Chains A and B, each alone.
Chain A
Amino acid sequence: MQIVQEILFLLQKELLLEWRQKYAIGGILLYVVSTVFIVFMATLVIAPPVWNILFWIIVLFASVNAVAKSFVQENSNRQLYYYTLANPLAIICSKIIYNIVLLFLLTILTYGAMTIVAENPVKDATIFWAALFLGSIGFSITFTFISAIASKADNSATLMAILSFPLVIPILGTLMKISRSALALEQDTSLNQDFMVLGAIDLILFGLVIILFPFLWKD
């Protein structure tokens, strides 16, 4: 039970930090809105198949940018201080949970902005929201862990991209497939299977993160 308390406490800390540095979250939100607007200016009429692709690409890039800072933002001395106080599992879990919430808000914002500039092509809202939620979880786990790896190196921005993009392709591909059927672009007979694959990938990655993270922070 102590670990749950630690996670809750660290989550509180994350929220407080975010509240004090409002420009960081504001920057990400503005990033989404301006990207959506650039996309709108470039294409003007966004057909549903293009909408699907653009939506997930914007979500992908915004998520990488949002999560990349999670381990870089605090300096190494302060991280050392956390590590002496808290369990590494509590640290990574709190970061992942915090990022899930952040990315979910980000996808909702992207969805909203895309709906304003283009029409809302989503036909089956339940499937689409489920995809958004599972997608946020998958992106959050992968990106948080990769940002922990990248933060150890010097040129972390480049590393963040080259390490995380190929790793996230299975998740992104499955998400696009699910959302294609949510947009009624294709009849998907194996929707349950797709959700199961997505859930399984999330679970496998989460399990690995739990096992591997303690080795990462031991400097």
Chain B
Amino acid sequence: MKHWWKILGVLLVLYTLIIGMIVPLKPGIPEVSPSNGQTGTELTVMVRGYNTHYEKAKEIRAWLKMDQERSLIADKITVQSPTNLEATFTIPKNLPSDKKVVPLALIIDNEVDGASVLPSAVFITQKNIQKAMGEALWKNSPINSLNEYKGMAFPYRNILAETIRNTYFHVSLWFGMFLLLIGSVVYSFRYLWKFRVEDDLRSKSLTGVGVVFGLLGCATGAIWAKHTWGTYWTTDVKLNMAAVAMLIYLAYFVLRGSFQDETKKARIGAVYNIFAFAAMFPLLFVIPRLTDSLHPGNGGNPGLGGEDLDNTLRMIFYPSIIGWTLIGLWMANLLYRTDLLQYRLLEDDY
């Protein structure tokens, strides 16, 4: 089987497309209204769920959580529809906090959907701040025996919601681009070492597909940004540095185009390619880490792993990187073969 890697690439991309789109999201809470309340009142909040099955659940419990130790349980819960319920809490006269406004997280748990959390769901305004009184008044009901969601599902994240699936396209395409560009630099070095025209054509085709992947990564990123950050393009450092990296590589093709002589084109193209790769490295890996960025992985928090990527996401994410890279290699291979044929034809003319 000579073509096993092409088949593997297609299978992995199909796997990404099908499983990545079919698997549902875990139940979550996108919205709570009203999102603010006063101390010393009975607070009834309307909870909107996502992918939830409130009517099927036998026992639904809800908490407002203040910190690791303190939480209030709901007195009454009325289910209105599979995705809507009303929860009533009694807010004490004083809260055990010396802040004017206290954010509380909402946790809803039932045996069908498992537990779901909305951080800072309700903001409670204190009429008068008396921390000691608040501690005395607080009726603590610890959160215990939470249920787990059964079955395969991607994590529900606020704001991200369904767009979390873009991880398999946006992030994987960037990884794929980077792997292809590394390959291209390796061939450029090989060209400068052996001066074989095949190496130069391979390097050129890998760069071409790498740039296409980069532009696709930019496009998927722009769509993602529109749905999460609100605009297609932001001043985010990583985004703009990536755009600059694309400019560097587009200039590579202009440079190649400005030479008539094939060997000169190949030699100078290889030299610039290596130089451009080295210049791109600080753009994508050093500078974004020094400044704040909206992207995960910058400004101190870990990029991949931690809570951003759970095991179900990983099951699709890693294969998708390999899949896109293999498809990219196949595309580069086709480009290389046409380029080589063209080169041979030109050579025959002389």
Contact = CB atoms under 8 A, between A and B. Distances in A.
Partners in one complex: yes
Interface of A: 142, 145, 149, 152-155, 159, 162-163, 165-167, 169-170, 173-174, 190, 193-194, 197, 200-201, 204-205, 208-209, 212, 215-216, 218-219
B259 A153 contact: yes
A209 B275 CA distance: 8
Contact of B268 (A193, A194, A216): A216
Nearest to B264: A152
Contacts of A153: 255, 258-259, 268
Contact of B287 (A159, A173, A205): A173
Contact of A159 (B192, B247, B258): B258
Interface string B80-109: 000000000000000000000000000000
A91 B267 CA distance: 19
Interface in B8-39: none
Contact of B258 (A142, A154, A170, A208): A154
A149 B287 contact: no
Nearest to A219: B264
Given A153-B258, A170-B286, A212-B271, 8 more contacts: A152-B264, A154-B258, A159-B255, A162-B254, A166-B247, A167-B275, A201-B282, A204-B281
30 contacts: A142-B279, A145-B275, A149-B271, A152-B259, A152-B264, A152-B268, A153-B255, A153-B258, A159-B254, A159-B258, A162-B247, A166-B248, A167-B279, A170-B279, A193-B290, A197-B282, A197-B286, A197-B287, A197-B290, A200-B282, A200-B286, A201-B282, A204-B281, A204-B282, A208-B274, A212-B271, A212-B274, A215-B192, A215-B271, A216-B267
Contacts of A166: 244-245, 247-248, 251
B290 A167 contact: no
Nearest to B276: A167
B283 A205 contact: no
The contact size tier of chain B is 20 to 34
Interface in B268-325: 268, 270-272, 274-276, 278-279, 281-283, 286-287, 290
Contacts of B290: 190, 193-194, 197
Contacts of B264: 152, 219
Given A197-B282, A208-B278, A155 B258 contact: yes
Nearest to A165: B247
Contacts of B251: 162-163, 166
A208 B275 contact: yes
A89 B38 CA distance: 75
A154 B279 CA distance: 24
Contacts of A209: 275
B326 to A, nearest CB: 29
A216 B274 CA distance: 12
Contacts of B244: 166, 169
Given A159-B258, A173-B287, A197-B290, A149 B278 contact: no
B272 A215 contact: no
A9 to B, nearest CB: 26
Contacts of B270: 215
Given A153-B259, A163-B255, A215 B275 contact: no
Nearest to A167: B279
B175 to A, nearest CB: 22
Contacts of B275: 145, 167, 205, 208-209, 212
Nearest to A218: B267
A177 to B, nearest CB: 8
A170 B283 contact: yes
A206 to B, nearest CB: 11
Contacts of A218: 267
Contacts of A190: 290
Nearest to A156: B258
Contacts of B258: 153-155, 159
Contacts of A200: 282, 286
Interface in B223-272: 241, 244-245, 247-248, 251, 254-255, 258-259, 264, 267-268, 270-272
Task: Name, among A145, A166, A174, A218, the residue most crowded by chain B CB atoms within 10 Å (CB to CB).
Answer: A166
Task: Name, among A159, A167, A194, A209, the residue most crowded by chain B CB atoms within 10 Å (CB to CB).
Answer: A167
A214 to B, nearest CB: 9
B214 to A, nearest CB: 13
Contacts of A201: 282
A169 B255 CA distance: 19
A170 B247 contact: no
A204 B271 contact: no
Nearest 6 pairs between A and B by C-beta? A166-B247, A153-B258, A166-B248, A170-B282, A167-B279, A162-B251
A145 B274 CA distance: 13
Contacts of B286: 170, 197, 200
Nearest to B191: A215
A200 B244 CA distance: 19
A208 B267 CA distance: 15
Nearest to B249: A166
B279 A149 contact: no
Contacts of B287: 170, 173-174, 197
